[in-house]
Structure 1
Amino acid sequence: MTFYGRAIALLVDRPELAEVAAYPFGFDVAGAAHGAAVRLASGAPLEAVAGDGTGGTFFVCGGGPVLYASGDGAAGLVAASADEALEMAIGLPGWLGLLHLSPAGAEAGLPAAVTASEEAIRESQPDLDAQRAALRGALGLPVHSPAELFARLHAALLRTEPDHLLLDTAGGRARARLDPHPRTPLRETVLSPGLADLARLRDDTAQWTEVAGDKARRATVLRAAQFDRQEHDLPLLRRLLAAETADAGTSEELRLAAVLVALHGSAEDLPLLRAAHAAPQAVRWGLPEVPEQPGAVVEWARGLDGSYLGEDPAREPELTWIRLARRQGRTELARAALLRILDSAEEAATAEQADLLRVLSVELEALGDLGQAARAQSGHAALVDEPRDRGVACRRLAELQRRTGDLPAAWRTLRPVPEILDTDGSELRWRRLGLGRMVAAEHFELARAAAGAGLAPIALESLAVARELHAGMGKSAQRSLGMLAQETKWAVARLK
């Protein structure tokens, strides 16, 4: 164990103090092992520092705050440091029974709740107060009132997500929250900088170029403008729409910017709107052709506004805010939200969840979390029935598994894909089309990766299937995979 603070070090060095801290105060530095393997979603270091005797464990996260994981699957930050966690355990030995209280109601309910919890402890430990005073003195810990300790506990709990989301290592599911208190909605968190930017831009046109040129800030300002519409924003909206149109990357805010401009009903904006419709990303985000007549443009915009946008941020899909958080660089915020949705979708496990799981997989891959992306894709593949859809889903799952380094799992997933696709009633035409090229390419990639890892059976079997598929393709498709096929052949030859 790394020693986090003077008080913890004293407990480790002095068994007689450690015994009192363990019972009755539920902070046992000798019983720090947690029953189930856990990890932080962020990948930050996690070290068990004490157990509480009920199956719960106190973990120090990255050398800083302390997270408590209960024995029944919940977790949350409880202190800013290991010594503060010890102060809380000694000063509020019944703290787990107080989590339902909020600071707003604690003034009235906390004293009675603390008294009741400590009276229950005194039934077996009548000298509780003397033990507490002696332990605090020996460890050099300050005296804090129950109200102060509770306020610190509650503040820590609200800081748990996104940076300290705890996952079960097996399966990757997120632990439930330790307390029932509401959190700030994701939309408010990601919209806040956009609203601030929008207010500044309305007063200072000199900042327009800077914000328009920043993809994340531009998208956030457009979202803010969606929910805070003002007539005099048209010149700013034109600048933002022009920047969205010129951006080669895909962005769902292109449609939003076009609608916000078109709602002003200015005929001079028709060329700008038509340029937006002609942009490559317009097809993906459903920006239909702009009417020829200026008078019809407003109705066109109102239709899109009513169908896809609107002025109530609470009606926007959660994925809108997750994508915006990712583009703002708030990776852990986006990841935590995605994993909460993924856990719920897995629990439902209905056919209606199949598309959602596919989208979650794509979003998690965009965050760089290939393990969780594979988990979501596995759920998607299990819920699709049509042979073609299932084959496509399994091919992508195999790719994700390969990229995470789990080559045996990738081969188990990929091996039946040709047989699955052969049953889709298309007379094996898929083999000569783009899908055939994708399946063959994945077999080549897996064979090459397996050769590099010394997994000869997988490398040889995957290469054999890849060659069979490659031989049945058209000449153009064969040529497009020629270099990959040759490199894989050499890699497997070196293995043999």
Structure 2
Amino acid sequence: MTDPSLVLLRRRPDLAALAAFPFDFDLDRAEHGEEVHLASGAALEPIAGDDTGGTFFLCGGNAVLYADSEGGAGLLADSVTDALDIVVGLPAWRDLMGPDPGPEEIRELEDGMRTSYAPDLDARRTELRTALGLPARSPAELVARLHAALLRTDPDHLLLNSQELLAYELLDRLPRHPERSIGPVRREVVRASLIRRLDDTGPDPEQLGQLGRDLEQIGEYAQAARAQRGFLSLQNSAWDRAAAGQVLARRERSAGDLAAAGRTLARVRTAIGLDSPAPPPPHEQRTLDLGAAGEPPAPDTSAEEWHRRGLGRMITEEHLELVLAAIAAGETGLARDAMAHAHDLLALIAKQFRQSLGDLPARAKWAVARLPQV
């Protein structure tokens, strides 16, 4: 059910204009500067914006989340009506997200608005409150409502940048205390905590590896893949790069990013010596040529025995799994390419590893054979 206050603003341009100025809830600015989504997977709809580039989002059809243009986000209220209650009754709310703002601070902020650009602030507030049926709450009550909502941002309203999967920082500066509960910790709490920890983790392979495993265990495959990309970038030997790449491809496939999984497996094949690395761009080649002459580095032979060890089985298995996933997704070109490489891998790995794959090679082979001829 659509919030009645939002319906009214959309039907009444005069009220929408009043909400836009001076209360900075502008329906005409209902867009965000970058693609975002909720970590929970709930629906996210931009409904308004402000003159700073911030956006008000409707989450799951009810709650209102505000995201600023600098990577911060926070839950504002449990409905559009409640959000407007705060925005109209507390127009300086963005400056009141620290602990214990006093009535004098609120009064000074609003006096500044009256002096600078909204001398009729109080009259406009009364007009909009009356039209929307909003009660005349005290500033102290509104601040308490705002802070209570902000403290509930995590875990259900954790906002992510869709391209890099980085979490938006908490919008407020309120102190948080660990919740004490008798029951088990909710899965959503664990997810939010792990994602924020990943954002704060630097080039630490041990931490990245553990976070990736933890995220994969709770089904956060895209975030687990992000952790693994960082882990892979820190590997120095061909063997370690191949092993880390195989894990990354699995997580990318599980996240549904099949094209990325295919590219990662190409890097794995390069690491074990099956594919030649792509030549560097001309400008990079010139830079390399200008380096000081010296002895060439010793060849990396760490992955020479990949086909005689378990790594070969895992790499082959991931190619075969990608074949089946690509066919299910209608990516026939990717499926055929992965099957061609899987055929080569099956011919190279030890017999016991081929046998341990069970019927997976046959299923992948027949799935490709049933594809329409090109």
TM-score by length of 2: 0.87
Determine the structure 2 residue equivalent to 1:82.
Answer: 80
Deviation at 1:120, TM superposition (A): 1.8
- Say whether the 8 Å CA contact 2:237–2:302 is kept in structure 1: no
1:114 aligned to which of 89, 106, 109: 106
Q: What SS does the corresponding residue of 1:413 show, helix, strand or coil?
A: helix
Structure 2 counterpart of 1:338, one-letter code: L
Q: 1:477 to 1:25 in 2, by over 3 A?
A: same
Q: Does 1:99 align with 2:92?
A: no
1:446-476 CA deviation, whole Å, 9 max, x = no partner? 2232234343443233222222221223332
7 and 446 in structure 1: CA distance in 2 versus 1, 3 angstrom threshold: closer
Question: What are the equivalent positions in structure 2 for 1:276-287 lying under 5 Å apart?
Answer: none
Q: Does 1:36 align with 2:29?
A: no
Q: Which amino acid aligns with 2:90?
A: L
2:362 paired residue number: 486
Unaligned runs of 5+ in 2: 274-298
Whole-Å separation in 2 of the counterparts to 1:486 and 1:355: 37
Letter in 2 for 1:175: Y
Matched, 1:397 2:248: yes
Aligned partners of 1:7 and 1:141 also within 8 Å: no
* Aligned residue number for residue 429 of structure 1: 305
Q: Quick one: distance in 1 between partners of 2:172 and 2:7?
A: 30
> What SS does the corresponding residue of 1:30 show, helix, strand or coil?
helix
1:12 to 2, 10, 13: 10
Question: 2-side partners of 1:373 and 1:68: how far apart?
Answer: 27
Q: Matches of 2:134 and 2:330 in 1, distance apart? A: 56
State the partner residue of 2:189: 333
Which segment drifts farther, 388-397 or 472-481?
472-481
Q: CA RMSD in A?
A: 1.9
Counterpart residue number, 1:380: 231
Sequence identity, in percent? 48
Matched residues in 2 for 1:138 and 1:482: separation?
69
Could you tell me how far apart the structure 1 residues matched to 2:329 and 2:82 are?
Answer: 46
Q: Secondary structure at the match of 1:87?
A: helix
Following superposition, the deviation at residue 426 of structure 1 comes to: 4.6
Q: Distance in 2 between matches of 1:426 and 1:383?
A: 16
Q: Do the aligned partners of 2:2 and 2:61 also contact (CA within 8 Å) in 1?
A: no
1:139–1:475: structure 2 CA closer, same or farther, 3 Å change rule?
A: closer
1:127 to 108, 120, 123: 120
Deviations 1:22-61 (A, max 9, x none): 0001112232222222211111122222212221111222
Amino acid at match of 1:117: L
AA at the equivalent of 2:143: F
Distance change >3 Å, CA 427–CA 144, structure 1 → 2? closer
Residue 55 of structure 1 aligns to a residue whose secondary structure is coil
Match of 1:3 in 2: 2
Residue 167 of structure 1 aligns to a residue in which SS? strand
Residues in 2 aligned to 1:476 and 1:175: alpha-carbon distance in whole angstroms: 48
How far residue 9 of structure 1 moved from its aligned partner, in angstroms, is 2.0
Structure 2 distance, partners of 1:485, 1:21, is 62
1:414 aligns with 2:290: no
> Per-residue CA shift, 1:161-189, capped at 9, x if unaligned?
1111111112111101111122123xx54
Q: Equivalent residue of 1:379, what SS?
A: helix
Other-structure match for 1:360: 211
Q: Give the whole-Å Cα distance in 1 for the aligned partners of 2:333 and 2:238.
A: 27
| Alpha-carbon distance between aligned partners in 1 of 2:129 and 2:329, rounded to the nearest angstrom | 55
State how far apart, in whole Å, the 2-side matches of 1:444 and 1:489 are.
9
Give the secondary-structure state (helix, strand or coil) at the position aligned to 1:478: helix
**Conserved? CA contact 2:307–2:350, under 8 Å:** no
Cα deviations by residue, 1:214-261 (Å, 9 ceiling, x for unpaired): xxx7xxxxxxxxxxxxxxxxxxxxxxxxxxxxxxxxxxxxxxxxxxxx
Using the alignment, how far apart are the partners of 2:328 and 2:39 within structure 1? Answer: 29
In structure 1, C-alpha distance between the alignment counterparts of 2:86 and 2:269, rounded to whole Å: 59
Amino acid at match of 2:271: I
Q: Specify the alignment match of 1:180 in structure 2.
A: 173
The 2-side partners of 1:426 and 1:164 are apart by 45
Distance 1:137 1:119 in 2: 22
Query: For residues 154 and 48 of structure 1, what CA distance do their matches in structure 2 show?
Result: 22
Maintained 8 Å contact 1:55/1:70: yes
C-alpha contact 2:225 2:251 (8 A) present in aligned 1: yes
State whether residues 452 and 491 of structure 1, in contact with CA within 8 Å, keep that contact through their aligned partners in structure 2. Answer: no
1:153 deviates by: 0.5
SS at match of 2:359: helix
The alignment partner of 2:144 has SS state of helix
Q: Could you say what secondary structure the match of 1:143 adopts?
A: coil
Which residue pairs with 1:472 in the alignment? 348
Aligned partner of 2:158 among 162, 165, 187: 165
- Structure 1 residue 429, shift from structure 2 partner: 1.8
Q: CA offset at residue 421 of structure 1?
A: 2.8
- Output the TM-score relative to the length of structure 1: 0.67
Question: C-alpha displacement at 1:16, in angstroms?
Answer: 0.9
Tell me which of 148, 152, 158 is aligned to 2:145.
152
- 1:329–1:491 Cα change, 3 Å: farther
* Higher relative helix content: 1
User: 1:481–1:80: structure 2 CA closer, same or farther, 3 Å change rule?
Assistant: closer
* Structure 2 CA distance for partners of 1:453 and 1:85, relative to 1, 3 Å: closer
- C-alpha distance in structure 2 between counterparts of 1:62 and 1:429, whole Å: 52
How many angstroms apart in 1 are the aligned matches of 2:307 and 2:358?
Answer: 16
CA distance in 1, matches of 2:323, 2:359: 14
- TM-superposition CA deviations, 1:125-167 (whole Å, max 9, x none): 2111111112212222110011111111011111111111111
* 8 A contact 1:74–1:177 mirrored in 2: yes
Amino acid at match of 2:62: G
Structure 2 vs 1, CA of residues 97 and 464 (structure 1 numbering), >3 Å: closer, same or farther?
Answer: same
User: 1:89-124 CA distances to partner (integer Å, 9 max, x unpaired)?
Assistant: 111111101112x2xx33xxx222112211221122
Indicate how the Cα distance of structure 1 residues 417 and 183 shifts in structure 2: closer, same or farther if over 3 A, else same: same
User: For residues 128 and 26 of structure 2, what CA distance do their matches in structure 1 show?
Assistant: 14
Measured in 2, the distance between the counterparts of 1:70 and 1:371 equals 24
